[in-house]
Each structure stands twice: as C-alpha cells, then as structure tokens.
C-alpha cells in the first residue's frame, strides 16, 4: 500500500486544487452581465441570424476519418520500424486492420462524407415553380460573403487597375 501513497496524495491534491479553483472563481468573479458579454461571438463576426437547428453531420464524419487515419498510422508505424522482429503474424494483423479500415473508408465516402457542395436534387417537373427560380441566379448573387464588406470594392478596383 505504501507504494500507492504518492499516487493517492497526487490525486487528492489534484481534486482539491480543482475544487478550490472553481470555488474561488464563483466567489471572486465580477458579476456584471451586459448584452455585449452575453452575445454569441465567433471570429469577429456578429451573427445576423439564429443558427440552424441541426448541425451538419459531415463535420463529425470528417473528424472520424481523421481519427481513423491517425489510428491507422499508429498501428502501421511499429510494423514499419521492425517488421523482422514482428514477423508474419503482425503483417496479417496489420493487413486485416487495413482491410477493415478501407471498407469503412469506402462506406463513409460512398455516404457523401467528402461532398461539401450544395445538395443536388432532381428538379420538379410540375409548372407550379415556374418563375420562382431565375436563370440569372448564380452562386455569386445568392451566397452572402460574410466578412467581405469593404473588400469587394477594393478587389475590383485593384483588378481594374
């Protein structure tokens, strides 16, 4: 039991430090809320509308792909360093893992994980939408460029000169 005493003491000190820090923050922090402090803020752009209810799942799928590649590299690296010592068993284990990884990767890509553009849907054939969608609409006329205020004119002047 004596060999675990330093670990237990360190654990108690860590929990005590966290609790005391939290308590000090609650007791000593100034409490003067205002509209500017409570407003959502991201990258210097004040949001002009409420966020959508659902966050696109594609972001999480790409994050999972990144984690899968990290695990793949961590698994392959020891074999690449010392394949003679690890032998054929490690080779077949690595091959099996790579196969499962490849099947998962193909599945995720087939589900559209890397398709970041607007969804392509089949157009309606009925005439109830005639005149609603104009042929003059382009991505530059319908997509709002956030944070580009004041820059577009300068870019056009620089291109014209």
pLDDT at 147: 56
Asked if 46 and 101 count as a contact pair (C-beta separation under 8 A), the reply is: no
pLDDT at residue 24, as a whole number:
95
Q: Is 46 exposed, middle or buried (0-12, 13-18, 19+ CB in 10 A)?
A: exposed
Crossing angle of helices 58-81 and 83-110, in 10° steps, is 160
Regions of the chain short of the pLDDT cut 50: 154
pLDDT of residue 145: 56
Task: Assign domain 52-116 one CATH number from 2.40.160.20, 3.40.50.10490, 1.10.645.10, 1.20.58.1610.
Answer: 1.20.58.1610
pLDDT score recorded for residue 9 = 95
Q: Where are the domains of the chain?
A: 52-116
Give me the pLDDT at residue 136, please. Answer: 66
């Amino acid at each position: 039991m004596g060999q675990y005493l330093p670990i237990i003491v360190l654990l108690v000190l860590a929990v005590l430090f966290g609790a005391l820090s939290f308590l000090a923050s609650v007791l000593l922090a100034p409490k003067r809320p205002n509209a500017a402090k409570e407003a959502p803020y991201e990258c210097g752009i004040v949001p002009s509308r409420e966020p959508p209810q659902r966050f696109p799942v594609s972001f999480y799928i790409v994050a999972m792909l990144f984690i899968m590649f990290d695990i793949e590299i961590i698994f392959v690296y020891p074999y690449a360093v010392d394949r003679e010592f690890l032998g054929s068993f490690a080779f077949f284990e690595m091959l099996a893992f790579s196969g499962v990884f490849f099947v998962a990767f193909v599945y995720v890509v087939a589900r559209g994980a890397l398709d970041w553009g607007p969804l392509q849907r089949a157009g309606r054939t009925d005439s109830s939408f005639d005149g609603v969608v104009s042929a003059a609409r382009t991505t530059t006329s319908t997509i709002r460029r956030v944070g580009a205020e004041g820059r577009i004119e300068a870019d056009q002047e620089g291109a014209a000169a």
